Amino acid sequence: MIGGRLERQLEAGSQEDVESEATPAGPMVAEPSSMHLPTYASRYTDIPRLNRLKFIAKVCPKLRVPALELAINHVKTTYNVKLYDELYKTLCAAIDKKEAQMGMPKGEAAAAAASTSKDTAGKRSDAGYIKQGPVPYDAFWVEDNTMESTLLQQELDAELNYKKANSGSAKVRRVLEEIGDYHLKSHNLKMAVKYYARARQYCTSSDNVINMFRNLIRVSIYMANWWHVLTYIEDAKKYAFGFENLAEKVPPRLNCAAGLANMGLKIYKTAAHCFLLTPFDRYDFDNIVAPEDVSYYAGLCALATLDPEMLELGVINSEGFRPFFELSPQVLSLLSTFNAGDCDHCLLLLHQIEDHVRLDYYMAPHLDTLFGMIKARIQKKRVPAAPIAGKVTQRLRVVNERRIMN
């Protein structure tokens, strides 16, 4: 039953699904917060790291060149030659633009770097990129990587056919997962989903099935197919409830993915609840969303949507979520300040975190909406409604005046 639904979803997933992973739009960040970009990027792996670096390069001119160079370094750990070419062209254009703004002749910095390459070899800045000149185009890597990728695909296809004919389900499933991993490394997300889903009929244990669902959830997040994410989460939970050992540990570990999907669908109140139910001690989505990010997502969604009582009891005083807030104490300060009614300080704290969250790949598209909702709540808190008794007294005074006039 589950396998049939997965196949129908794969057939329904058109090319639009792949294109939906495009970098979200957002306003430019002229002056980012004091961010050490290599440290920030090291929190994430694989496609999430590339997505975040590409997004920072798009919205923050100040960090564009270092973000692109870090992205180029990381894409060389994959089979995605096409993305390598795109990033390199974008980097060259960014460097040319920077030279033009500084009044330097086009290519002068690159020429200077080439003439002093022996002296500057190995000298890198704190951001992890070469100080003088662009990163050289690695034609050898492109050729070698393309050949390696082609040979690996042929080898995996041949192995799959052999295992289907001569081996049991467990070995077939492992090969299907390896092919899914290969397509993921090649950034062919639609094919990755296809092979991960095919592994379902060859699963020989409950852990195999849960791992299959987690693979599908992960790739659907990369594709920003939020309804598919929620569907796979629901199917995984239903399956887990049939096993005593899985019923308790699996659903909580999917709460962060559910929060991300609901936030992507602009269902902010549900997103806040899902993030707040994420267990810190069993959190394992950190390669996509770092624990520091969870506190920002939960805090801003909660501040924008939850009533004051829930905000105080379920967020600020939540013992289970406090370890997340300890990683980002400014979020807890923002919530506590709002709860205390210090509106001016609350607006100041909101302004202080704005540039940081505008660099976040998942939060940035929703920031204007959430900030608008939060500022409206602050304004409402600043101007309390007139007391009911005062309104009644004023109305009686008007009625009496009309009677006297009559």
Q: How far is CA 368 from CA 27, 119, 156, 304, in A?
A: 9, 47, 46, 11
What integer pLDDT is reported at residue 1 of this predicted model?
47
| Residue 14, pLDDT above cutoff 50 | no
What integer pLDDT is reported at residue 286 of this predicted model?
84
Sequence-distant (6+) residues with CB within 8 A of 138 are 76
What SS3 state is found at 309?
helix
Taking residues 147-160, what's their average pLDDT? 94
pTM of the model: 0.81
* CB 271 within 8 Å of CB 237: no
Taking residues 346-358, what's their average pLDDT? 90
What integer pLDDT is reported at residue 223 of this predicted model?
93
Taking residues 1-15, what's their average pLDDT? 50
| Residue 249, pLDDT above cutoff 50 | yes
| Residue 216, pLDDT above cutoff 90 | yes
Taking residues 251-279, what's their average pLDDT? 94
What integer pLDDT is reported at residue 88 of this predicted model?
92
Between 376 and 104, where is the model more confident?
376
What integer pLDDT is reported at residue 226 of this predicted model?
95
d(CA 336, CA 334): 6
Cα-Cα end-to-end distance for the chain:
79
| Residue 357, pLDDT above cutoff 80 | yes
CA atoms within 13 A on the CB side of 224: 19
* CB 266 within 8 Å of CB 276: no
Sequence-distant (6+) residues with CB within 8 A of 355 are 29, 31, 32, 33
pLDDT band at 387 (very low <50, low <70, confident <90, very high): low
Average the pLDDT over each of 207-211, 348-352, 358-362, 391-395 and give the range with the smallest value.
391-395
Continuous segment of H or E residues that includes residue 157: helix 139-166
Between 55 and 406, where is the model more confident?
55
* CB 216 within 8 Å of CB 196: yes
**What percent of the chain lies above the pLDDT cut of 70?**
78
